Amino acid sequence: MKNRLCWLTTFACLAVPAAADVLYENGPINGQTDAWTINFGFLVSDTFTLTSNSTVNGVSFGAWLSPGDTLESVEVSFTEFEVGGTTYFDQVVNVTQSNCFANTYGFNVCTETGSFNGVDLAPGTYWMQLQDGVVDNGDPVYWDENSGIGCHSEGCPSLASENSVGSIPQEAFSILGTNGNGTVPEPGSLILLASGVIAASGILRRKLR
């Protein structure tokens, strides 16, 4: 099977709640290139950068789903390093699905937006992980790959990795919340280089096929 499906052809903007500021955005949804599994034990990580003390209270990202599926929830975590170091947040987040369109591969591509009690973070670069996406019939859930094209935030495009293969192209997402809160924990370090691609025979790659 081909690892890549096609080059970028269309964009769909991430929708965010009016009450939330976009603290970081990694570019709009692509929807036509590729996507990475975020359930069945597979985990995808992307970095994001905050430029001031912030309270993060939501995320928005692009998902590929089988026709008729609705994503109900996803586990979201923010960590110091790539799946390691200090964990600042780790919670199953319910999401609302919007702005769906059908792509050329027969999937529905949707904006998924979730909110949660705010977590205070200092200026710096963090890793966000998405995993354990849930739809009621147990189908796969994929995080849209956009390679960071069209992003405008400081620190973009992100670094990105997948837990079975290592370094991958970047995904479509926004970090939501408010700026200007008080003293918050400092991250231990800034961006770390993602691990190299592992492509050994027999390792299951959960990139969309």
Query: What is the per-residue pLDDT across 7-64, written as a single tens digit (0 to 9) for each?
Result: 333 334 454 444 579 999 999 999 999 999 999 999 999 999 999 999 999 999 999 9
Q: Which residue ranges make up each domain of the chain? A: 21-179
User: pLDDT of 103-148, one tens digit each?
Assistant: 999 999 999 999 999 999 999 999 999 999 999 999 999 999 999 9
In sequence order, the β-bridge partners of residue 113 are: 60, 96
CA distance 178 to 139: 34
Q: Is omega for the bond preceding 123 within 30 degrees of 0, making it cis?
A: no
Selected residue with higher pLDDT from 184 and 197? 184
Residue 196 has pLDDT above 90, yes or no: no
Residue 192 has pLDDT above 90, yes or no: no
Strand spans (E) along 66-209: 71-81, 84-102, 108-121, 124-135, 142-145, 160-162, 166-167, 173-179
Contact of 118 with 50, CB cutoff 8 Å:
no
Selected residue with higher pLDDT from 190 and 61? 61
In sequence order, the β-bridge partners of residue 94 are: 73
- pTM for this one? 0.80
Contact of 37 with 208, CB cutoff 8 Å:
yes
Residue 94 has pLDDT above 70, yes or no: yes
- Residue 59 tokens, joined: 């995320």
Query: The domain 21-179: what is its CATH number?
Result: 2.60.120
Looking at residue 12, its pLDDT comes to: 42
Residues 6 or more apart from 164 whose CB is under 8 A from it?
Answer: 42, 198, 203, 204, 205, 206
Range 47-66 burial, b when 16+ CB lie within 10 A, else e: bbbbeebbbbbbbbbbbbbe
Looking at residue 208, its pLDDT comes to: 62
Selected residue with higher pLDDT from 90 and 5? 90
Residue 160 has pLDDT above 70, yes or no: yes
Other Cβ atoms closer than 10 A to 202: 4
